[in-house]
Amino acid sequence: QSALTQPPSASGSPGQSVTISCTGTSSDVGGRDFVSWYQQHPGKAPKLVIFDVTRRPSGVPDRFSGSKSGNTASLTVSGLQAEDEADYYCCSYAGINKFVVFGGGTRLTVL
Amino acid sequence: QVRLQESGPGLVKPSQTLSLTCSVSGGSISSGYYYWTWIRQNPGEGLEWIGYIYNSGSAYYNPSLKSRVTISVDTSKNQFSLMLTSVTAADTALYYCARDLAGGYGNMDVWGPGTTVTVSS
């Protein structure tokens, strides 16, 4: 059982926006601004798309954005494209006892 | 551009020790403030953080695996390694090495392609 809770699936049509949630506790998501999001295509290694809640690594389209409210972080993918279909994992720093924890992943389907 | 590559046996017998190495190319493992990380993914499941090591040699582990895990670094070979003892079928997974940005806060910006380890007699 994952430390962070994500919906197992999400979907949207091309051009639409989709938001994926990630719920933790005050010990991880809510207590620190160290939430990251990873995109994983089948058979590939995960790719960092958001870090420090809202920051985008170089090369990641600005269609990807992150936010946080309380113990819940969110990833929004705007202007959905077919290539966005993938599994998405949230991740949070959880302090000096647990260090790094992941969500269970959300499969995003582009209809 | 830093690249990571995992290597090690693809098959380990139950109760034995799993040993993997991650080779770093395109940069020195000693430079910067990075945490060198191991993560695994059980077949068809999500990601599990195993632990990481700073270039000083200080290592930190997932509490659920701590009693069986050792991560070490060899700066002369520009590599870091994972040892997992007393393996069972539950340790069968795709193992990734990755680089966590400064602070070790879960921001893994570079990943290896992964290596599959099967625990079976």
What residues in chain A have their Cβ under 8 A from chain B's Cβ atoms? 2, 32, 34-36, 38, 45-48, 51-52, 57, 89, 91-93, 97-105
- pLDDT at position A47 is 98
Residue to test with chain A: of B49, B53, B110, most A Cβ within 10 A: B49
User: Any chain A CB within 8 A of the CB of B75?
Assistant: no
Residue-wise pLDDT tens digits, B2-19? 999 999 999 999 999 999
Provide the H-helix boundaries in B5-94.
none
Residues paired with A45 in a beta bridge: none
What is the Cα–Cα distance from B38 to B75, expressed in whole angstroms? 17
**SS3 label, residue A9:** strand
Q: Which residues of B touch A24 (CB under 8 A)?
A: none
Contacts of A97 in chain B (CB under 8 A): 63
Is B106 within 8 Å of A91 when comparing Cβ atoms? Answer: yes
A38: Cα separation from own chain's centroid: 6
pLDDT over 90 (residue B115): yes
Q: What is the mean pLDDT of chain A?
A: 96
Tell me the β-bridge partners of B27: none
Instruction: Say if residues B52 and B65 touch (Cβ distance below 8 Å).
Output: no
State whether residue B90 is helix, strand or coil. Answer: helix
Q: What is the 8-class DSSP label of residue A84? A: G
Other CB atoms within 10 Å distance of the CB of residue A62: 8
How confident is the model at residue A98, as a pLDDT? 85
Q: What is the pLDDT of residue B57?
A: 84
**Backbone torsions φ then ψ of A46, nearest 5 degrees:** -60, 155
Q: What is the pLDDT of residue B44?
A: 84
Residue-wise pLDDT for B29-67, tens only, equals 998 889 999 999 998 889 999 999 998 789 999 999 999
Q: Which residues of chain A have pLDDT under 50?
A: none
